[in-house]
Amino acid sequence: MLSSAVQRSTLGLHTLEQYEPLVGTATTERIAAKAERMRTMRVAHVSSTFYGGGVTELLTPLTLMMNATGIETDWHLIQGTPGFFGCTKKLHNTLQGESVDFSDAEKTIYEQVVFENATRLHLDDCDAIIVHDPQPLPLITHFPDREMPWLWQCHVDLSSPYPPVWTYLRQFIEQHNAAIFSLPEYGQDLQVDQQFVTPAIDPFSAKNRELSDREIREFLSNYKIPTDRPLVTQISRFDRWKDPMGVIEAFRKARAQVDCTLVLVGNNASDDPEGGKILETIKNIADEGIVVLAVDDPTLVNALQRSAAVVVQKSTREGFGLTVTEAMWKGAAIIGGNVGGIRHQIKDEWNGFLVSTPDQAAARMVQLLKDPGLREQVGSRAKESVRQNFLMSRLLEDWLDLLCKYERPVV
Domains of the chain: 14-200+391-405 (3.40.50.2000), 213-389 (3.40.50.2000)
pLDDT digits (tens, 9 = 90+) for 127-174: 999 999 999 999 999 998 888 999 999 999 999 999 999 999 999 999
Counting Cα atoms < 13 Å in the Cβ hemisphere of 91 gives: 25
Rounded CA separation 349/338 (Å)? 12
Give the alpha-carbon dihedral of 101, 107, 108, 114, to 10 degrees.
150
Residue 2: pLDDT over 50 = no
Name 194's bridge partners: 179
Res 11 pLDDT > 70: no
Predicted confidence (pLDDT) per residue in 79-127, tens digit? 999 999 999 999 999 999 999 999 999 999 999 999 999 999 999 889 9
Say whether pLDDT at 7 is over 60. no
**Other CB atoms within 10 A of residue 294 CB:** 15
pLDDT reported for residue 267: 77
Tens digit of each residue's pLDDT (9 = 90 or more) over 344-377: 999 999 999 999 999 999 999 999 999 999 999 9
pLDDT at 407: 82
CA distance 217 to 324: 22
Beta partners for 294? 266
